Amino acid sequence: MIKKFAKYNNSFLIIIIGDLLYDDEISSILLNQLDNLLKFKDQNNQKRPLILVGDPGRPYLDSIFERLTILAEYDLPEDFRCTNGLSSVQVYKFD
């Protein structure tokens, strides 16, 4: 799915990424794809899409954290909480 993303990079106005930052390799690929998309848009004087990222704060979020602005935070219900202490989910805007 991620590799196909670049093929359609010209047609998105809003991109929503949820619960995908659970692995360092996937986080790196995602960051690379999003950077390529934004560079393409800038080089062609096109409007950048709104990119929203939802994640419960996993360690692999660190690889793109400096590019995120928090928009909202939600507590997770007890039965959805992970054993590693994740108790809320955040929604970010990617820049």
Helix (H, G, I), strand (E, B) or coil at 87: coil
Mean pLDDT taken over the chain: 80
Interval 58-85: pLDDT, tens:
766 666 788 889 999 998 887 777 666 7
User: pLDDT, tens digit, for every residue of 24-56?
Assistant: 888 888 888 888 888 888 888 888 889 999 988
Question: How high is the pLDDT of residue 1?
Answer: 45
CA dihedral 59, 80, 29, 10 (to 10 degrees): -130
Bigger pLDDT: 1 vs 13: 13
CA distances from 52 to 8, 20, 84, 85 (A): 17, 12, 24, 23
